[in-house]
């Protein structure tokens, strides 16, 4: 069944794309995972409207869009905090919004974070590519013809309702750390940490780095004290996941993000733990990052705790 046009993009904002939890299982074909930069906020927005976690929603970047809803819709916004208006009324994020036919959801000033998610009950429709609707910008696949939304785009909303019941975030999630200007994240030392002299690893783990201007959904360039490599030998390319930090010969680390290539040829000094990945999605150019080394036991415990808060939020 073809659903009628359900929402119209009046103003696309800086970079608004369709994203879900990404496409897995084809990285050995060179197909990137892609998906939301802050998967926790995407899932939260989906849960608020009763969608399944993996349902596609709109990812808003730094400056938000204006969206007109052409029929009654249940909507939730999560992630970065913006001043939100529904026509002339100010509304809240991280709560269920019942939007009437013809009403406009407008993003105003951004207060914190970098990326927000707009989930619509039933899910936003788009091109499904290898099992996911996520937009992969470098290869122009998935979502809205593989590109960011433009003024005048018309999107359909699915009729598929999730099996999960609509839920409200518990206090734990409402109070979750949302980076303002920067954040600390926990890392596990990388598979090539032995390529770096000890003092380089110490520098990386004790100094502050800044997200460079040349940063996007593929990765963040980190500016700060250079991370010297032991020698100039070349590494053979190997798999690179979101959250891993590669160091080219220049010593300027590169933090791989959602749209990163499946493989890379620079040694990896560390990898951000799964429980802290969502924090990275809330950073923009100019924000700072500090890295705390932890072990896999702590990393797993942190994720278990985060999931417990998610599960207890009904």
Partner 1 sequence: MNSDQSSWTIRQEGDSGIVVSFPECIDPIINSRCVALACEIRSRQLPWVRDVVEAYASVTVYFDLLAIDNELAVGVIRDLANKTVAEPEKDKELEPIRLPVCYGGRYGPDLSVVSAYAQCSEHDVVRRHASVTYRVYMLGFLPGFAYLGKVDQKIAAPRRKNPRLVVHAGSVGIAGKQTGVYPSQSPGGWQIIGRCPVKLLNWSIERPFLLESGKRVRFEPIGEQDYERIQESTL
Pure H helices in the chain: 39-49, 171-174, 198-206, 277-280, 296-311
CA–CA gap between residue 16 and residue 117 (Å, rounded): 9
Candidate residues 178, 217, 229, 268; the one interacting with partner 1 per rule CB under 8 A: 268
230 is a site residue for partner 1 (CB under 8 A): no
Residues 37-66 that bind partner 1 (CB under 8 A): none
State phi, psi for 42 to the nearest 5 degrees: -60, -45
Footprint on residues 241-260 left by partner 1 (CB under 8 A)? 241, 243-244
Q: Which stretch binds partner 1 (CB under 8 A): 4-12, 78-86, 102-110, 269-277?
A: 269-277
Residues 6+ apart with CB under 8 A from 99: 69, 72, 73, 74, 75, 86, 105
Q: Does 224 bind partner 1 (CB under 8 A)?
A: no
- For partner 1, the closer CB: 69 or 204: 204
Cα separation, 157 vs 137, in Å, equals 22
Query: Measured between alpha carbons, how far is residue 145 from residues 134, 169, 228 in Å?
Result: 10, 33, 41
Among 3, 8, 138, 309, binds partner 1 (CB under 8 A): 138
**Whether the Cβ atoms of residue 286 and residue 220 lie closer than 8 Å to each other:** no
Binding string, residues 167-196; x marks residues near partner 1 by CB under 8 A = --------------------xxxxx-----
| Residue number with CB closer to partner 1 (24 or 175) | 24
Kindly give, in sequence order, each residue whose CB lies less than 8 Å from that of residue 51, ignoring residues fewer than 6 positions away.
57, 119, 121, 122, 123, 161, 162, 164
From the list 141, 178, 229, 278, which residue makes contact with partner 1 (rule: CB under 8 A)? Answer: 141
Which one, 7 or 256, has the nearer CB to partner 1? 256
Compare residues 75 and 245 and give the one whose CB is closer to partner 1. 245
For partner 1, give the closer residue by CB, 105 or 272. Answer: 272
Q: Which residues bind partner 1 (CB under 8 A)?
A: 24-31, 33, 129, 138-139, 141, 187-191, 235-239, 241, 243-244, 261-264, 268, 271-274, 296, 299-300, 303-304, 307
């Amino acid at each position: 069944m073809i659903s009628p046009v359900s929402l119209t993009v009046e103003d696309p904002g800086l970079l608004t794309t369709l994203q879900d939890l990404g496409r897995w299982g084809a990285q050995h074909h060179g197909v990137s995972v892609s998906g939301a930069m802050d998967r926790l906020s995407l899932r939260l927005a989906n849960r608020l409207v009763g969608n399944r976690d993996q349902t596609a929603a709109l990812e808003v970047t730094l400056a938000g869009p204006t969206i007109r809803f052409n029929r009654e819709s249940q909507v939730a916004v999560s992630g970065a905090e913006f001043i939100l208006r529904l026509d002339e009324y100010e509304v809240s994020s991280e709560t269920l919004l019942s939007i009437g036919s013809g009403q406009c959801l407008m993003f105003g000033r951004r207060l914190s974070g970098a990326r927000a998610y707009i989930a619509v009950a039933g899910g936003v429709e788009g091109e499904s590519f290898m099992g996911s609707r996520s937009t992969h910008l470098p290869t122009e696949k998935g979502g809205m013809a593989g590109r960011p939304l433009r003024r005048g785009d018309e999107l359909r909303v699915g009729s598929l309702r999730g099996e999960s019941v609509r839920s409200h975030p518990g206090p734990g999630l409402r109070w979750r750390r949302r980076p303002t200007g920067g954040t600390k994240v926990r890392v596990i030392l990388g598979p090539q940490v032995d390529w770096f002299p000890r003092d380089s690893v110490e520098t990386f783990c004790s100094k502050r780095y800044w997200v460079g201007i040349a940063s996007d959904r593929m990765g963040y360039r980190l500016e700060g004290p250079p991370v010297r490599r032991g020698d100039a030998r070349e590494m053979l390319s190997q798999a690179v996941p979101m959250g891993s930090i590669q160091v080219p010969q220049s010593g300027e680390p590169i933090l791989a993000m959602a749209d990163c290539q499946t493989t890379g040829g620079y040694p990896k000094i560390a990898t951000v733990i799964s429980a802290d990945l969502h924090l990275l999605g809330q950073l923009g150019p100019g924000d700072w990052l500090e890295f705390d080394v932890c072990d896999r036991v702590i990393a797993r415990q942190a994720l278990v705790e985060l999931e417990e808060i998610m599960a207890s939020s009904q």
